[in-house]
């Protein structure tokens, strides 16, 4: 990565149990109307897991007791030099109860019924790796928000 390419680092957290996954519908901003995990920009002075725990609580009310790093995503948008680096986590243990926030409408989905048609296009490519428990690294180049020009996904030994 050259020095002129800015990088933005994000967290993305999925709350899981044996048969269901908690998704949130983004009510405003980037990705509005799409179902996704909970997350956002890592702030100065916090670690990536700290940012992940903070965003999860802010957006759906749950406090993660543990986080498992399950994958890494990189996104570029054609014509924009910015690299988005998204650290993907799962949590199976948490306290608190699910609440709707100004940013997100949370809802449990059966793992067999994930609403890919109303999610970022990349999700249906890498979700299978996450659901199989394989640590993945994905790179996606978008044109606008509704077309993937190219992508690749590798399975890595857990970092």
Residue ranges that bind ligand 6OG, judged by CB under 6 A: 10-12, 29-31, 36, 39-41, 75, 84, 86, 120, 122-123, 142
Sign of the dihedral through C-alpha 33, 89, 64, 9: negative
Give whichever of 144 and 157 is closer to ligand 6OG, judged by the CB atom: 144
Integer Cα distance of 125 and 92 in angstroms? 22
Residues, the chain: 159
Give whichever of 86 and 94 is closer to ligand 6OG, judged by the CB atom: 86
| Residue 15 beta carbon to ligand 6OG: minimum distance, rounded to whole angstroms | 13
99 to 22, 45, 103, 108: CA distances (angstroms): 12, 27, 11, 12
Give whichever of 94 and 120 is closer to ligand 6OG, judged by the CB atom: 120
Give whichever of 3 and 40 is closer to ligand 6OG, judged by the CB atom: 40
Residues 28, 105: contact at Cβ < 8 Å? no
The residue sitting closest to ligand 6OG, measured at its beta carbon, is 39
Give whichever of 41 and 157 is closer to ligand 6OG, judged by the CB atom: 41
Integer Cα distance of 157 and 155 in angstroms? 7
| Residue 37 beta carbon to ligand 6OG: minimum distance, rounded to whole angstroms | 6
Where does residue 27 fall: left (phi above 0), alpha (psi -120 to 50 degrees), or beta otherwise? alpha
| Residue 24 beta carbon to ligand 6OG: minimum distance, rounded to whole angstroms | 10
| Residue 86 beta carbon to ligand 6OG: minimum distance, rounded to whole angstroms | 5
Strands 20-26 and 104-110: antiparallel
């Amino acid at each position: 990565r050259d020095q002129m390419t800015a990088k933005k680092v994000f967290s993305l957290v999925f709350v899981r149990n044996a048969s269901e996954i908690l998704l949130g519908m983004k009510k405003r901003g980037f990705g509005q109307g799409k179902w996704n995990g909970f997350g956002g920009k890592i702030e100065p002075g916090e670690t990536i897991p700290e940012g992940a725990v903070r965003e999860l609580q802010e957006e759906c009310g749950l406090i993660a007791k543990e986080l498992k790093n399950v994958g890494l995503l990189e996104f570029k948008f054609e014509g924009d030099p910015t690299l988005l680096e998204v650290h993907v986590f799962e949590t199976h243990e948490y306290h608190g109860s699910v609440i709707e926030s100004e940013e997100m409408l949370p809802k449990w989905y059966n793992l067999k019924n994930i609403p890919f048609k109303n999610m970022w296009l990349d999700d249906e490519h890498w979700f299978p790796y996450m659901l199989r428990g394989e640590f993945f690294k994905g790179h996606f180049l978008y044109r606008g928000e509704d077309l993937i020009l190219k992508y690749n996904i590798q399975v890595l030994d857990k970092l």
